[in-house]
């Protein structure tokens, strides 16, 4: 297993400087914004060659969710996701992280009644995934479907929800993102969920129980990493979190040291 990270506010702005900074930190991979990748592919390839930092996954960087209530936004998002997958192919990337939606609707807050019924949700997401499945097959990449917690999305909250879309649509190029923060809210037992879905979990997102940096909350990451080892998971663990503390860079480095220490156990 290797460590990757998404961007943080204190990272350098220039692409080559970001990659050099990550190399100095001893991080293996960079989970890149999809739009940034598409618009700067040659510069990113050059930075990868110089530093050895891998870009295996993209996250964000597109407009329109795969489960968007607006058909125009949904289809626009699919075209942008297609471009991201083709860009990933050019740099040897593995796939793009995609939730059903984020912040569009939740049953936990008013108005409580969504503008579309559950059958409509299923049809929209399935149509999107079947479209992206064909693109992923052509580009030898994957779709990493990410369940979000009930306060951020109403359609795919648990790993079992994502699994249902994969199995009922017979999707071969769609895997599941196991995000410890979301699983902490939604799953009865994170370790059991990791074990029971080991053949479909293709990517990991790291944040602690309160969404801040790993090691600052209550999740037992050593147990989780031990379970992933038992599952023979050999992919990336991508840090996707906010930073708690007055000195964000210091706290990030402290969390990184913590993660490395339990990875080396």
Of 259, 256, 252, 240, the C-alpha closest to 99 is 240
Phi, psi torsion values for 166, nearest 5 degrees: -65, -45
pLDDT at 121: 98
Among residues of the chain, what percentage have pLDDT more than 70? 100
Question: Average pLDDT over the chain, rounded to whole?
Answer: 97
- Does 167 qualify as catalytic in the annotation? no
| Model confidence pLDDT, tens digit, residues 171-197 | 999 999 999 999 999 999 999 999 999
Domain enclosing residue 7, as ranges: 2-263
- Average pLDDT (87-105) is 97
- Does 146 qualify as catalytic in the annotation? yes
Number of separate domains in the chain:
1
What is the DSSP annotation of the chain? Answer: -EEEE---TTS-SSHHHHHHHHHHHT--EE-B-HHHHHHTHHHHHHHHHHH--B--EEE---SS-TT-SSHHHHHHHHHHHHHHHHHHHHHT--EEEEES-SSS--TTSTT-S-SS-HHHHHHHHHHHHHHHHHHHHHHT-EEEEE---TTT-SS--SHHHHHHHHHHTT-SSEEEEEEHHHHHHH-S-HHHHHHHTTTTEEEEEE--TTSS-TTSSS--HHHHHHHHHHTT--SEEEE-----SS-HHHHHHHHHHHHHHHH--
Say how far apart CA 165 and CA 122 lie, in whole Å: 8
| Model confidence pLDDT, tens digit, residues 208-233 | 999 999 999 999 999 999 999 999 99
Say how far apart CA 142 and CA 98 lie, in whole Å: 10
Q: How confident is the model at residue 134 (pLDDT cuts 50, 70, 90)?
A: very high
CATH number assigned to the domain comprising residue 239: 3.20.20.150
Phi, psi torsion values for 3, nearest 5 degrees: -95, 135
Q: Is the pLDDT of residue 106 over 80?
A: yes
Q: How confident is the model at residue 264 (pLDDT cuts 50, 70, 90)?
A: confident
- The torsion region of residue 245 among left (phi > 0), alpha (psi -120 to 50) and beta comes to left
Which token pair is 153?
A: 């999305």
Which token pair is 87?
A: 């860009």
**Of the listed 31, 133, 186, 240, which one is catalytic?**
240
Q: Is the pLDDT of residue 265 over 80?
A: no
Among residues of the chain, what percentage have pLDDT more than 90? 99
Say how far apart CA 21 and CA 204 lie, in whole Å: 22
The model's pTM: 0.96
**Of the listed 31, 54, 133, 146, which one is catalytic?**
146
| Model confidence pLDDT, tens digit, residues 9-50 | 999 999 999 999 999 999 999 999 999 999 999 999 999 999
């Amino acid at each position: 297993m290797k460590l990757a990270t998404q961007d943080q506010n204190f990272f350098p702005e220039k692409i080559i400087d970001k990659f050099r900074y990550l190399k100095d930190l001893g991080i293996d991979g960079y989970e890149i914004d999809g739009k940034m990748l598409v618009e700067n592919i040659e510069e990113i390839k050059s930075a990868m060659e110089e530093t050895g930092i891998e870009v295996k996954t993209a996250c964000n960087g597109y407009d329109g969710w795969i489960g968007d209530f607006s058909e125009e936004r949904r289809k626009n998002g699919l075209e942008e996701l297609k471009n991201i997958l083709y860009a990933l192919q050019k740099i040897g990337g593995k796939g793009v992280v995609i939730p059903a939606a984020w912040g569009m609707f939740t049953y936990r807050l008013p108005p409580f009644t969504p503008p579309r019924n559950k059958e409509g949700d299923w049809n929209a997401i399935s149509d999107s995934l079947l479209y992206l499945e064909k693109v992923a097959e052509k580009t030898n990449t994957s779709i990493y479907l990410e369940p979000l917690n009930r306060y951020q999305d109403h359609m795919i909250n648990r790993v079992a929800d994502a699994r249902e879309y994969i199995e009922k649509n017979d999707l071969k190029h769609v895997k599941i993102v196991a995000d410890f923060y979301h699983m902490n809210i939604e799953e009865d037992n994170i370790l059991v969920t990791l074990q029971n879905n080991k053949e479909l979990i293709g990517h990991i997102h790291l944040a602690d129980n309160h969404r801040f940096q790993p090691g600052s909350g209550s999740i037992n990451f050593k147990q989780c990493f031990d379970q992933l080892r038992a599952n023979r998971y050999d992919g990336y663990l991508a840090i996707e979190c906010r930073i708690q503390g007055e000195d964000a860079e210091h706290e990030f480095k402290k969390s990184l040291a913590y993660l490395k220490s339990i990875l080396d156990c």
